[in-house]
Amino acid sequence: GPAHWNWLQSYPGYPPVNRTVDVTGDMTVEDYRDIVPGWYVLQWPPETTTTVHIPTENIYGQLWAEGLTYEEGEQRGLLAELGYGTDADPSAWTTWASMAWGSQVGDNDEYLSTIIPDETGVFSYAVRFNGNWGVGNPNDVWYYGDTSGGEYDPADAGVLTVLGPSIELVKTVGTDPNVCAATDSILVVPGTEVVYCYTVTNTGDLALVDHDLYDDQLGDLLVDFPYTLEPGASAFITAT
């Protein structure tokens, strides 16, 4: 079968020793790899905040498996992944991605990675491990780790907050250059000068510091205009 080495259990005891099998006549010996972690955890941080499309700080997970992770260095065949989502069942998340082996921490293997979110919001995140992957291995299952260690509990998942920019623009028209009109259409006699008002509101989570404004009738009104618009704040300009 494929990935023959992955069928082998890595230890019959601690520390690992070689085993023998007595074969008599025609027989099949099924000796699938069966790594059962004794402890696995989302190590750090318990919560993190980033901006959409920007990587988080490093996120760490640890795994201990008797007779395996005590050895210095990355162990062959262990998969570690980091994922995030909103479903209470982390196996339903579609964001799982590989973690890199980082260091030996006592008898534990520590892995690390980052999350690069593609949408804003608040999410859960966790780590997962699998030492038994491979076609045909009946022990091919993932072990999901939260901040408390052991079996996953949604209440103990990491909390990821993703911020992002968002802006609202309202264009109105009037005749008073000192007032931002409340109407988006008016009736005037020929030759009357009208005043367009552009009101922007920062509806996102981040301060907006540089601004462009283009009107398909009036052209460029602002180009890289420096002005700090805090979340929830509004500002307006007028043009005739």
Across 154-174, average pLDDT: 97
Chain segment 57-111, per-residue pLDDT in tens:
999 999 999 988 998 999 988 999 999 999 999 999 999 999 999 999 999 999 9
Across 122-145, average pLDDT: 95
pLDDT of amino acid 19: 57
pLDDT of amino acid 1: 39
8-state DSSP, 155: G
* Alpha carbon distance 182, 195 (integer Å): 12
pLDDT of amino acid 149: 94
CB-facing half-sphere around the CA of 206: CA atoms within 13 A: 14
**Whole-structure pTM value:** 0.78
pLDDT of amino acid 183: 96
Beta-bridge partner residues of 110: 62, 103
pLDDT of amino acid 177: 87
Is the CB of residue 50 less than 8 Å from the CB of residue 162?
yes
Can you list the positions of beta strands (E) in the chain? 39-44, 47-51, 59-64, 79-85, 97-98, 100-105, 108-113, 121-130, 143-145, 158-163, 167-174, 195-202, 208-215, 219-229, 234-239
pLDDT of amino acid 29: 66
Residue 9 has pLDDT above 70, yes or no: no
With a CB cutoff of 8 Å and minimum separation 6, the contacts of 103 are 110
pLDDT of amino acid 15: 53
Q: Which pLDDT band holds residue 2 (cuts at 50, 70, 90)?
A: very low
For the chain, the average pLDDT equals 91
What percent of the chain has pLDDT above 90? Answer: 80
Q: Which pLDDT band holds residue 7 (cuts at 50, 70, 90)?
A: very low
- Interior angle at CA 71, CA 34 and CA 135, nearest 5: 30
Chain segment 174-201, per-residue pLDDT in tens:
999 888 999 999 999 999 999 999 999 9
Helix, strand, coil: what percent of the chain each, to 5?
Answer: 5, 40, 55
Reduced to 3 states, what is the DSSP secondary structure of residue 145?
strand
Across 125-142, average pLDDT: 94
Q: Pick the range with the lowest mean pLDDT from 140-149, 175-184, 221-230.
A: 175-184
